Amino acid sequence: MSVRDRQGQGRIEARFAALKAEGRAGLVTYICGGDPDPETFQTLFDGLPAAGADILEIGMPFTDPMADGPTIQAGNLRALATGMTLVRLLEHVKAFRATDDATPVVLMGYYNPIHHYGAERFLTDAREAGVDGLIVVDLPPEEDDELCLPALRSGLCFIRLATPTTDDRRLPAVLANTKGFVYYVSIAGITGAAAPTASLVEAAVARIKRSTDLPIAVGFGIRTPEQAAEIARAADAVVVGTALVGKVAGALDGEGRANGRLVGDVLGLVRDLAGGVRNAR
């Protein structure tokens, strides 16, 4: 199988098939691209799979990440302050792919920077860099012609979010052009705002699974290994972001620079979360 054949949906499908064979849920980790500086970010990016991350969700820095809480908003601003751009972020993905051709990489963000970059040019460059999927939270299904359908034609997965307010009438539209997996937002609100209720998540995952064969990843508000384990009993994957970006913020010195503990602190939390997910069933 060539690198291109393994890319996109193939790489994500292969990872979820492996997780199913192992009888466990996966861990999806979110970190903000370029946070807190390019060198530290690349070290974190490269170290996540060995720490236990199964799929890597990388934030595309943006000045107005309206679905994200203050912790991830601050991560976006730190990255932008060090000069992070989409062009530079794709260079980081290329560098990651030089040593890891198996771990799926999904870019998460908002449409404004992609529109500014040029949608077709962005899809081509993302594919060439080694990206497998996109989560673009502010493009609804009614705008699929804008980016979703071109992304699917280029071989990239387009991963849609379903929320507690996505009812049975809306769900078919959300699922129609979703590829790779469905991202279920476990709470109503922004990232990191509250902790999910496991029983409600279990019921929501079961309801979505009646309408799709795609894996269901659950995120928003999951911070601890114990919470991750609870969610992993029902979901196909657990997404953790705010807790990791918070670890980055907690390991900065008075001038906002990474101290010597940052990489160890973040990857240590990933190892703990992975342990919770792997021992959940």
Name, in order, each residue with C-beta under 8 angstroms of 145's C-beta and a sequence gap of 6 or more.
Answer: none
Q: Is 68 a catalytic residue?
A: yes
Q: Which amino acid is at 205?
A: V
| Rounded (10°) CA dihedral 34, 39, 42, 47 | -130
Q: Which residues of 75-89 are buried (b: 16+ CB within 10 A; e: fewer)?
A: bbebbbebebbbebb
What's the Cα-to-Cα distance from 218 to each of 114, 164, 255, rounded to whole Å? 25, 11, 35
| Cα end-to-end distance, the chain, whole Å | 32
Q: Beta strand 182-185 with 161-162: parallel, antiparallel or unpaired?
A: parallel
Selection from 206, 246, 203, 201 nearest residue 219 by Cα: 201
SS3 106: strand
* Catalytic residue, candidates 13, 37, 54, 68: 68
CA distance 90 to 60: 10
Selection from 58, 68, 52 nearest residue 38 by Cα: 58
* Catalytic residue, candidates 37, 57, 125, 144: 57
Q: Is 226 a catalytic residue?
A: no
CA distance 120 to 227: 39
Catalytic residues, by residue number, are 57, 68
